[in-house]
Structure 1
């Protein structure tokens, strides 16, 4: 089975530029950023509520927990929110003129209800296609997240835990390797 494409930095910027010109730009950008900067699956993103990412004092949290019923493994897991993702969520929050109801979906569909995992998967596929990127799917962000952490030297055990995998072998299958990375690797010697 062919794996989802891991975007290059230029491709990632192109997707952000293209989706910035479309309808629901900030919502779509936030969904994409949750995939790329938190490594979340589309099914996990679809289940998020504002109460997951906003603290009781109205600030964007540094960590939240996915409920067991919202994960592939049926196990709760923490999601650590980087400063970059916190800024993205804060910008997204500021787009709402009315008071945010914490029980509402973080990423609402056009009908104001929650996206289904399938609908969000289709939306992400369309965003990548609109940017002219072949082979990218809703899983590309998750692979990007895991690959970037691996190439930054983050411990495989930490990456496995952040991804919510039970096996290191599963995590390793997500890591993309290309010629540029291999050339840089041998230059370390």
Structure 2
């Protein structure tokens, strides 16, 4: 129990590390085809990043602070110590998405704390490092306006356009305020785009 408490405290400190954002001003909402193109061009690590942020609607800081102990098969538990609200969340990856994560697990460098995305000197990958990787990947496949936040926006917009209520979407996102969530969603996204993005979540 003491070890678990120390680990939670350590991750909370890492969560609050200052980081210079490389995010674009308004992260693009992506189609399933665009996401697929990025996955096809990605390294195993970056593909795992994309899958978790999209399917789990995860913030980049939540993703980089995951440890393998948070992953059981295809189920991912996001500890409250790494979330913006302090509330834990849990989701299950569909088979195709789970394969991307498992492929990375097979080649992921081992670290003392078991980070899913190891960085330097035993630390997890920094937020800036993850943002830079995503920006380079988007540039590689010729998609503009992409940041690490694009995957979370895509997932939540798609879920809402697919018929989930704001409260149900808030359960996915971890938003406490429905008003904040409503401002966050891309209300102008075409229904076809939203449904295409949604297909990744259940594929």
Aligned to 1:64, which of 77, 81, 85? 77
TM-fit CA distance, 1:31: 0.5
Matched, 1:76 2:87: yes
The aligned residue for residue 115 of structure 1 is 125
In structure 2, relative to structure 1, the CA distance for the partners of 1:102 and 1:151 (3 Å cut) is: farther
In structure 2, relative to structure 1, the CA distance for the partners of 1:111 and 1:126 (3 Å cut) is: farther
TM-fit CA distance, 1:14: 1.7
Q: How far, CA to CA, are the matches of 1:136 and 1:61 in structure 2? A: 26
Contact 1:146 1:171 in 2 (8 A): no
Flag the structure with larger Rg. Answer: 1
TM-fit CA distance, 1:83: 2.2
Q: How far, CA to CA, are the matches of 1:181 and 1:148 in structure 2? A: 8
Contact 2:105 2:116 in 1 (8 A): no
TM-fit CA distance, 1:15: 1.3
Unaligned runs of 5+ in 2: 1-23, 195-203
Q: How far, CA to CA, are the matches of 1:65 and 1:45 in structure 2? A: 8
TM-fit CA distance, 1:112: 6.1
Contact 1:121 1:137 in 2 (8 A): yes
**Paired positions, count:** 169
Aligned to 1:4, which of 3, 16, 27? 27
The aligned residue for residue 172 of structure 1 is 182
The aligned residue for residue 32 of structure 1 is 50
Q: How far, CA to CA, are the matches of 1:119 and 1:87 in structure 2? A: 23
In structure 2, relative to structure 1, the CA distance for the partners of 1:179 and 1:71 (3 Å cut) is: closer
In structure 2, relative to structure 1, the CA distance for the partners of 1:51 and 1:102 (3 Å cut) is: farther
Q: Deviations over 1:115-137 (max 9, x none)?
A: 11122122212211222111111
What TM-score results when the alignment is normalised by the length of structure 1?
A: 0.77
CA RMSD of aligned residues (A): 2.6
Contact 1:50 1:102 in 2 (8 A): no
Matched, 1:53 2:71: yes
Matched, 1:92 2:110: no
TM-fit CA distance, 1:72: 1.6
